[in-house]
Amino acid sequence: MKRYSAFAVAREALRYHMGWERAWASPEPKKKYDVIIVGAGGHGLATAYYLGKNFGITNVAILEKGWLGGGNTGRNTTIIRSNYLQDPSAAIYEKSRSLYETLSQDLNYNVMYSPRGVIMLAQTEHEVRGYKRTAHANALQGVSTEFISPQRVKEIVPIINLDGPRYPVLGGLWQARAGTARHDAVAWGFARACSAMGMDIIQKCEVTGVSRDGGKVTGVTTNRGDIACDKLGIVVAGNSGHLADMAGFRLPIESVSLQALVSEPIKPCMDCVVMANTVHGYMSQSDKGEMVIGGGTDGFNSYTQRGSFHHIEETVRALVETFPMVARLKMLRQWGGIVDITGDRSPILSKTPVDGVFINSGWGTGGFKATPGSGWGFAELIAKGHSPLCDEFSLTRFKEGRFIDESVAAGVAH
């Protein structure tokens, strides 16, 4: 694989850009691999990458029923933060945030990481107390956050209305090194690096069954034939329950749609991410000028990836109070992603009842920010059978009552 650089761009410009290699290969599947990862989204590709980089395991196939990065990786609002209350959550999200800082250099691919900062608005006295508590917890965890005054919020976000008719802004939890990255570029960068290590990325390859010999996995059945493996990682977000059924176990998750939208492009007016959890809306501005807007999940289970009118009404209505300028914008496009939600709103990174099968699921509405950290920990779990980042997120916690309830702790799981 040729390295990308300014010199490479100049060289290819002289060749009319005819010398670029394909970013990743599209091979036919082999008969057997050491590890198969089902799901070529950010988490699956990151897992494969760190299997190769950290543990030298490169006889790996990443199977994707659609196209690479076409699921939730390409259907999110790109927020990256690590200011969670619970220690296990803060650990894995801070690991992820720190990996994002150098990910472009590590992958030799510009993922457009932007540490623009994230503010979580406090609009009730309950939220003020909760975010101050989180700020103290983050200080003990080594996560740099602070609770800021309404005046400081206004300095950072001049377009905000502090005196909303229902919920005035009473302050905010500010993480200056949080931010955003380009979701597609994250998937493409990991894919390019995996392909360069000799791994096989196989698109349009749907898993239709999981083969077992007694209690141990032996491979998968796909629409492109049977493929054997020693270990199987399931990283398919909202379809996790479906794959788990194939393998012969159940997951404590439900799948719902999470919708988002972007406005028409406008001049730069907001250089950070703002989350308003009381009214449940969040907004940032993309590099192209679009206002990226999202809110809560749909109130019913579904596998749809479409938008709906009720989401536009509820989410935009919530944000108009805090950002009156939103009322004058036109919507450019809208989409939905299928998210898998656990009872405690925290992920599952775990061994399963089937020997050799590992599950990475339950990220709910906050999966993108965890992409490199999830891949780091899940790769270690697959390679060694144990990972400090993953231990607390095992399947057994639901049976043992060891919940990591971020929804109750933070009021939101984004």
Tokens representing 306 are 């479409």
Q: Which of 295, 327, 342 is the last residue in one of the domains? A: 342
Q: What is the DSSP letter of 286?
A: -
What is the pLDDT, as a whole number, of residue 205? 96
In a domain, 169, yes or no: yes
Give yes or no for a contact between 171 and 128, defined as CB atoms under 8 angstroms apart: yes
My answer on whether 198 and 245 are in the same domain is yes
Three-class secondary structure of residue 246 per DSSP: helix
The predicted model gives 209-230 an average pLDDT of 96
E-strand stretches of 325-401: 331-342, 348-351, 357-361
My answer on whether 198 and 329 are in the same domain is no
Q: What pLDDT digit, counting tens, does each position of 256-282 carry?
A: 988 999 999 999 999 999 999 888 889
Give yes or no for a contact between 177 and 113, defined as CB atoms under 8 angstroms apart: no
In a domain, 5, yes or no: no
CA angle at 171 for the pair 84 and 329, rounded to the nearest 5°: 95
pTM for this model (two decimals): 0.95
Q: Which candidate, 162, 132, 168, 129, places its Cα nearest to that of 147?
A: 132
Q: Which candidate, 107, 102, 115, 118, places its Cα nearest to that of 189?
A: 107
Three-class secondary structure of residue 133 per DSSP: helix
Sign of CA dihedral 104, 185, 254, 228: negative
**Confidence tier at 413 by pLDDT (50, 70, 90):** very low
Give yes or no for a contact between 322 and 384, defined as CB atoms under 8 angstroms apart: no
Q: Which amino acid is at 146?
A: E
My answer on whether 38 and 141 are in the same domain is no
How many distinct structural domains can be found in the chain? 2
Q: Which of 342, 364, 384 is the last residue in one of the domains? A: 342
Q: What pLDDT digit, counting tens, does each position of 326-347 carry?
A: 899 999 999 988 999 998 999 9
Q: Which candidate, 89, 54, 100, 33, places its Cα nearest to that of 381?
A: 54
Place of tokens 């993953």: 390
Residue 198 and residue 391: Cα distance in Å, rounded? Answer: 30
Residue 154 and residue 159: Cα distance in Å, rounded? Answer: 8
What is the pLDDT, as a whole number, of residue 278? 86
Q: What is the CATH number of the domain that holds 71?
A: 3.50.50.60
Say yes or no to pLDDT of 411 above 80: no
Domain ranges, residue 151: 118-179+255-342
Q: Which of 310, 327, 342 is the last residue in one of the domains? A: 342
What is the pLDDT, as a whole number, of residue 409? 52
CA–CA distances in Å: residue 66 to residues 50, 63, 205: 23, 9, 7
In a domain, 15, yes or no: no
In a domain, 55, yes or no: yes
My answer on whether 286 and 353 are in the same domain is no
What is the pLDDT, as a whole number, of residue 231? 98
Three-class secondary structure of residue 65 per DSSP: coil
Q: What pLDDT digit, counting tens, does each position of 300-314 carry?
A: 888 888 878 878 888
Tokens representing 400 are 């043992």
- For β-strands 171-175 and 118-122, DSSP reports them as antiparallel
